[in-house]
Structure 1
Amino acid sequence: MGVNLEASTLLLPTTRLLLAAKRARGGRPDLVASSLRDVGDAPSAPPGRGAALRNTARLSVWMTEEWLRQLVALAAGLRGRIVVFDRHFYLDYYHADVDAGRRRGVAERLHGWMLARVYPKPELVIMLDAPAEVLHARKPEATVAWLERRRQQYLELAPLVPQFVVVDVDRPLDAAVSEVAAAIESSWKAKNS
C-alpha cells in the first residue's frame, strides 16, 4: 500500500486501465503525484493549458488512490490489525506539495492542502536509515547526492508525526528487524493501554 502504484496490488480499476494504456503506448507505467525533485531545484516553466489539464487529471487519479489506501487501512484498523505503509503519502510528498516553501501549480497546492489538513497522518513512522553511499550501493536508482538530500528531508519530518523512530539498517538484519518490531510493539501497547 505504498506510493509506488507500479508495484501495488491494490489499485482502482480505472487506475489499472490508465497504467495499461501507458504501457501499450510504450510509456513507463508510472503514475506519481508530483515530481520529487529537490526543493532547491529551479521550477520548470508553467505548463500550457493542455498540460495543466492532464496534470490535474493525473493528480485527481492519484488522490483517489491515496484515499482508497486510507479506507483499506481504516477498515483493517477497525478490525484490530496493525497497518504498515511502505511509504506514507503525507511524508513522501511533504517537500513537493505540502511545504509552502516552493512554487507549485494549482493541482499541487490542492494535493498539499488535502495531505496537510484532511488526510490522516501516520501514528508511528519508522525510518530505515543508512548513509547515502550504502543506499546507493544497495539500489543505484539515484545519485548519492540526491539520496542524501532525500534522507535529510525525511529526517526533518520527525516533528510532524507523533512518533518518529530512526532505525540504523547498516548493520545485521536481525538487529534492525528486532528494533523495528520493538518500536511497533511499544507503539501498539501505548495506544491500547
Structure 2
Amino acid sequence: MTKIYFFAQNLKDKIVVFTVALIGGDGAGKTTVANYLVEVLPWRVKYLYMGQSTISSNAALPTTKIARILKKKLDRKPQEIKLEQSKLVEPTSNDLHYGYKNRNILWKFARFLNRVIETYWRQLITFYYRIQGVMVIYDRYILFDAAPKKSSNFKMKKMFDYLEYLIFNYLMPKPDLVIFLDAPSEVLYSRKGEASIKHLNSRRAATLKQGERIKNFVRVDASQPLEQVLEEVESLVNQFYQARTLTQGTISFPDERK
C-alpha cells in the first residue's frame, strides 16, 4: 500500500492540474466557495465532496447508501432522537451526520472499513479527473475531519478513529492546496448553530495543528463579507496555478496559521 501511495504522489506532482481542499468549521462557507470556484475558474473544474457526511456526498458508494438505510432502521423514533439531541453539549463524533448512539464494535469496524474504502474511491475519482486535465475542488477534506484534538489523545474506545487518522495521514495523497476558511467559533455558531463553541474551538485547534504538517496550507479570514472571501480564495487559486504551471513547485504564502 505504501508503494501505491508514493506512486500516486509522484504521479500527481507531474500533472499540472491540481486539487484544492476547502476546509473550515460548520458555517465557514466551504460549499458556497467551492461551488463559486467551479463556476468562475477558467479551467475544467469538478466539485467533489470529501467530508465524512454520507448525506452530503456526491460520490457515495452503494455500501454507504445501504448503511444509511440500515442506520435509519436501527435508530429510534424521530421524536426520541430530537429529545436526546437537545441535551447534547457537543457532537459525539467528528461527523455531525453520524448518530449520537454508541454502536457495538462490529458496527464501528464496518463503518471504519466503509469510510476508508469510500475515501480511496474518491481518490480514484480524483485521479480519473486529473488524467483528463480536470482540476478538482474538494469540499472539506477527511484528513482534517479525522485529525485528533491532541497528538496524545488516544483512547481505546476511539481506536478505529485513530486508525482512520493514521491511514489518511500517512497512506493517502494530500491536496495540492489547502485553504482553511477560518473564523471565530462564535461567528460560526451564530451562522449555523449545529456544534457547540467548545467543539468548534477544538476542531479549529486540530485543523491548525494538522495544517503545520501540510504543504501549501493557507488561512483565509472567513469572518469577512462573503464577496471578499470569494475574491481572496479565487486569487489564491490563480496564484497557485501560475506557480505550479511555471515551476511545479511550492508557492509561498504568508504564515497566518496562528
User: How high is the TM-score relative to the length of structure 2?
Assistant: 0.61
Query: Which residue identity is paired with 1:11?
Result: A
Aligned length: 176
Question: Percent of aligned positions with the same letter in both sequences?
Answer: 28
Higher relative contact order (CA 8 A, sep 6+): 2
Q: Are 1:19 and 2:71 counterparts? A: no
Q: Is the CA contact 1:56–1:107 (under 8 Å) kept in the aligned structure 2? A: yes
- Counterpart-to-counterpart distance in 1, 2:171 and 2:106: 24
Judged with a 3 Å threshold, the aligned counterparts in structure 2 of structure 1 residues 140 and 10 are, in CA distance, closer, same or farther, namely: same
Q: CA deviation at 1:23?
A: 2.2
Partner secondary structure for residue 117 of structure 2: helix
Q: CA deviation at 1:135?
A: 0.4
Judged with a 3 Å threshold, the aligned counterparts in structure 2 of structure 1 residues 116 and 82 are, in CA distance, closer, same or farther, namely: same
Q: Is the CA contact 2:180–2:218 (under 8 Å) kept in the aligned structure 1? A: yes
Task: Tell me how large the CA RMSD over aligned residues is.
Answer: 2.5
Partner secondary structure for residue 148 of structure 2: helix
Match among 231, 250, 253 for residue 178 of structure 1? 231
User: How high is the TM-score relative to the length of structure 1?
Assistant: 0.80
Match among 53, 58, 72 for residue 106 of structure 2? 53
Q: Are 1:75 and 2:128 counterparts? A: yes
Partner secondary structure for residue 140 of structure 2: coil
Match of 1:41 in 2: none
Partner secondary structure for residue 137 of structure 2: coil
Q: Are 1:155 and 2:188 counterparts? A: no
Query: Which residue identity is paired with 1:64?
Result: I
- Counterpart-to-counterpart distance in 1, 2:171 and 2:213: 14
Q: CA deviation at 1:14?
A: 1.6
- Counterpart-to-counterpart distance in 2, 1:127 and 1:86: 11
Judged with a 3 Å threshold, the aligned counterparts in structure 2 of structure 1 residues 71 and 36 are, in CA distance, closer, same or farther, namely: same
Match of 1:7 in 2: 56
Judged with a 3 Å threshold, the aligned counterparts in structure 2 of structure 1 residues 170 and 116 are, in CA distance, closer, same or farther, namely: closer
Match among 69, 87, 93 for residue 35 of structure 1? 93
Q: Is the CA contact 2:182–2:223 (under 8 Å) kept in the aligned structure 1? A: yes
Partner secondary structure for residue 7 of structure 1: coil
Query: Which residue identity is paired with 2:111?
Result: R
Judged with a 3 Å threshold, the aligned counterparts in structure 2 of structure 1 residues 51 and 81 are, in CA distance, closer, same or farther, namely: same
- Counterpart-to-counterpart distance in 2, 1:171 and 1:117: 34
Partner secondary structure for residue 10 of structure 1: coil
Q: Are 1:62 and 2:115 counterparts? A: yes
